[in-house]
Amino acid sequence: MSHLVLTGLAKRYGRSVAVDGLDLSLAKGESVALLGPSGCGKTTTLRMVAGLIAPDAGSVSVGGADLTQAPAHKRDMGYVFQSYALFPHLDVAANVAFGLDERGVARSEKAARVREALSLVRLEGLEARRPRELSGGQQQRVALARALILRPQVLLLDESLSNLDARLRESMRHEIRDIQRRLDITTLFVTHDQTEALTMCDRIAVMNCGRIEQIGTAREIYDSPATRFVAGFVGRSNELALSRDSGGRPVLDGAPLRLARDPGGAIDLHIRPQHLRLGPAGAPASDAFNRLAGKVAHSVFVGDRSEVLIDTKAGRIVAELPPGDTAPPDGADIVLSWTPDAGHVFVRESV
């Protein structure tokens, strides 16, 4: 059963459409990421959910209760801001307890809940420190504890890991995910970082121009993109413009292609770099694979894989090789091959 439901949410700023009739439902305890580029409307959506921005149209409900007109402090939601928004003049305990003070919680209960919240985010013993005395990761935990101490029905995270370095960001992704699962709290998470969306959430809603282009699990979004935007934005993809021969068959560099589907008309093919195989130019052809000749421009070893950049008549293509494979030398003539179901076909957009 749906717990957090957004129906037809819309927001305009003058002639600019920030959010355009967005619909989204989250089950109790589910974590969903709003993923998209800057300016796609994801933070505006989150702030409308929180009650920080009034929608021009649509509704927000939690547990069946319509909260569209409710003020932010009566929505029973915890919000973690991108900047953390900690009070520099207050110590950790006072920052965490701030929401309880606003609600008039008794001193004895407040102390117990502060200890509970700090234990949850592993900050025991740091109650007396000021924000300036904390690391970035510790400040992030304080902001999270401040949101969770209210025991909200919904947790809202706005680019909450963007200020951390790469290594700390990775560890905090797992910590937040563990806490979210332990508390079974419904969570809406805004990010432009694909790795965060893929690892922290049950489902991902990919946004573009104020709308959700696709929603699904990480596997569904990555392996079966519904639109060319999703295919190009989530993960990496090579886009190849196909033409047709006199018989109407799709061709690339003059050679006919086998496709899993052909919607007809002008089409483009998207192929993930890891789905491409590399072979020497003289390798025998196989009917099971599509082929494209190219020359290696250069290759780069990036730890868990090698990236090979190949110049072809269809443009420059990136292929990925697993760690044990040796990349061909620069300047080598090669053949790229892939199975018909490895690519995603989209109707070409008119300019």
Kindly tell me the burial class for residue 350, based on how many C-beta atoms sit within 10 Å of its own C-beta (0-12, 13-18, 19 or more): exposed
Answer whether 148's CB lies under 8 Å from 78's CB: yes
Please state, in angstroms and rounded to a whole number, the distance separating the CA atoms of residues 317 and 298.
11
pLDDT of residue 163: 72
Question: How many C-beta neighbours within 10 Å does residue 142 have?
Answer: 25
Q: How many CB atoms lie within 10 A of CB 127?
A: 17
CATH code, domain with 292: 2.40.50.100
In a shared domain, residues 220 and 257:
no
Q: Is 212 helix (H, G, I), strand (E, B) or coil?
A: strand
* Cβ atoms of residues 137 and 60 within 8 Å: no
Of 124, 175, 183, nearest to 148 by C-alpha is 183
3-state SS track over 86-106: CCCCCCHHHHHHHHHHHCCCC
* Domain around 170: 2-233
Identify the H or E element spanning 246: none
User: Does residue 211 sit in the same domain as residue 322?
Assistant: no
Q: Are residues 216 and 248 in the same domain?
A: no
Q: What average pLDDT is seen over the chain?
A: 91
Element (H, E) at 55: none
Q: Are residues 199 and 323 in the same domain?
A: no
**What would the pLDDT profile of 27-63 be if each residue is shown by its tens digit?**
999 999 999 999 999 999 999 999 999 999 999 999 9
Range with the lowest mean pLDDT among 24-33, 170-179, 243-252, 269-278?
170-179
Q: What is the mean pLDDT of residues 157-185?
A: 84
Q: Torsion over CA of 251, 253, 255 and 261, rounded to 10 degrees?
A: -30
Confidence of residue 168 (pLDDT cuts 50, 70, 90): confident
CATH number of the domain enclosing 191: 3.40.50.300
Are the C-beta atoms of 114 and 96 separated by less than 8 Å?
yes
The count of structural domains within the chain is 2
Nearest to 346 by CA among 275, 274, 263, 271: 263
Q: Which amino acid is at 55?
A: P
Asked whether 190 and 43 are in contact (CB, 8 A), the reply is: yes
**Domain ends where: 233, 262, 290?**
233
Last residue of a domain, one of 183, 214, 233: 233
Residues 115 and 156 in one domain: yes
- Shared domain for 104 and 137, answered yes or no, is yes
Q: Please check whether residues 84 and 40 belong to one and the same domain.
A: yes
Residue with structure tokens 């709308």? 211
Greater model confidence, 70 or 174: 70
Indicate whether 88 and 196 sit together in one domain: yes
187 or 169, which is more confident? 187
Q: What confidence score (pLDDT) does residue 283 get? A: 76
Residue 276 sits in the same domain as residue 224: no
Q: How many CA atoms lie within 13 A of 48 on its CB side?
A: 30
DSSP 109-173: HHHHHHHHHHHHTT-TT-TT--GGGS-HHHHHHHHHHHHHTT--SEEEEESTTTTS-HHHHHHHH
Q: Are residues 19 and 129 in the same domain?
A: yes
Question: Within this chain, do residues 43 and 57 fall inside the same structural domain, yes or no?
Answer: yes
Cβ contact 54:41 at 8 Å:
no
Where is the domain boundary, 233, 249, 284? 233
| Tokens linked to 226 | 């519904």
Averaged pLDDT, 87-93: 92
Which residue is it, tokens 């904390």?
134
Residues linked to residue 190 through DSSP beta bridges, in sequence order: 34, 158
What are 306-322's pLDDT values in tens digits? 999 999 999 999 999 98
- Same-domain check for residues 177 and 227: yes
Q: 351 falls in which pLDDT band (50, 70, 90)?
A: low
176, 188, 311, 178: which is closest to 253 by C-alpha? 311
State the burial class of residue 109 (Cβ atoms within 10 Å of its Cβ: 0-12, 13-18, 19+). exposed
For 39-48, 98-107, 113-122, 289-298, which range has the lowest pLDDT when averaged over its residues? 98-107
